[in-house]
Amino acid sequence: MDMSIANAQGLVLEEESSKRAIETIQFIVIRLGDEQYGIDIRNIDNIVRMQHITRVPKMPIYLKGVINLRGEVIPVISMRLKMGLADDEFTKNTRIIVVKLEQEGNVGFLVDEVKEVVTLAVSDIEKINYNANEEMVSLINAVGKHNEELISLVDLNVISLEDN
């Protein structure tokens, strides 16, 4: 009798934990200036240290150029310029986040620093639906709550869809 109850309880616990596992999303937290942003980890292919970027002429200013990632030529976009911040200053913390975009394949994004990986429950993520004219806002598609702090969640696929 006792056994079966214990078993049943175990089952319930297990169910709960699996439910929770399904409902969380991991984000990589990056820093741009003083702001922190989250990028869905499922979109990220790779994070590499700063390396020489070959400039491509006649490109929009935020398109910094191309890098060689293990034999693949990948365009690199400055998140700072894209978001209307000052141009990048390269430090030892500067990283290129390589993201696999749906349409364009791999694209690298320059960020000031990669901080940590956070796990957010889906219930702690709030979608932003309003259309502001400001470009910066349109890149941020949701806000997540993590340890009482708010993190802006960036949808990089939106970046790619804009005409460059």
Partner 1 sequence: MLALKNTEREGIISMDVSQYLEIFLDETREHLQNLNTQILELESDPEGEDTIKEIFRAAHSLKGMAGTMGYKRMQTLTHDMENVFTEVRNGNIKVRPDMIDVLFKCLDALEEYTDNIQSTADEGTNDNEVLIKQLNNILSEKSGGVPQAKTPVVKTSAALEEGDRWDTISLDDSQINVIKEALNMGKRVYGLTVTIQESCILKAARAFLVFKAVEERGEIIVSDPSAQDVEDEKFDREFTLILLSDVAIDEIIKAAESVSEIEKAKGGLLDLEKNKHYKAGNEAEQEAKQEAEPEAQENVPVVQEQVTAADSVVKQAAPVKTDVKKQTSGKPVVNRTVRVDIEKLDSLMNLVSELIIAKNSLVSASSQEQVGAHNSFDEQIEYLESVTTNLHESVMKVRMVPIESVVNKFPRMIRDLSKKLDKKMELYMTGEDTELDRTVVDEIGDPLMHLLRNSADHGLESAEVRAQRGKPAVGSIFLDAYQEGNNVVIEVRDDGNGIDVEGVKNKAIERGAITPEQAANMTDKEVIGLLFLPSFSTAKQVTDVSGRGVGLDVVKSKIESLSGEVEVKSTLGEGSTWIIRLPLTLAIVQALMVVVGNEKYAIPLGSIQTLEDIPPTDVKLVQNKEVINLRGTVIPLIYLSEVLDVESKKAEDESLIVVIVKKGDQMAGLVIDELIGQQEIVIKSLGKYIKQCKFISGATILGDGEIALILDANALI
In whole angstroms, how close is the CB of 160 to partner 1 at the nearest point?
A: 7
The encoded tokens of residue 72 equal 């693949």
Residue number, 4 or 103, with CB nearest to partner 1:
103
Binding mask 8-47 for partner 1 (x = CB under 8 A): ----------------------------------------
Are 82 and 110 in contact by the 8 Å Cβ rule? The answer is no
For residues 125 and 29, what is the distance between their CA atoms, to the nearest angstrom? 14
Buried/exposed 29-53: b ≥16 CB within 10 Å, e otherwise: bbebeeebbbbbeebbbebeebeeb
Range 62-101, binding partner 1 (CB under 8 A): 63, 66-68, 70-75, 101
For residues 15 and 35, what is the distance between their CA atoms, to the nearest angstrom? 37
Task: Count residues near partner 1 (CB under 8 A).
Answer: 25
In whole angstroms, how close is the CB of 79 to partner 1 at the nearest point?
A: 15
Q: Which residues bind partner 1 (CB under 8 A)?
A: 52, 54-59, 63, 66-68, 70-75, 101, 103-107, 160, 164
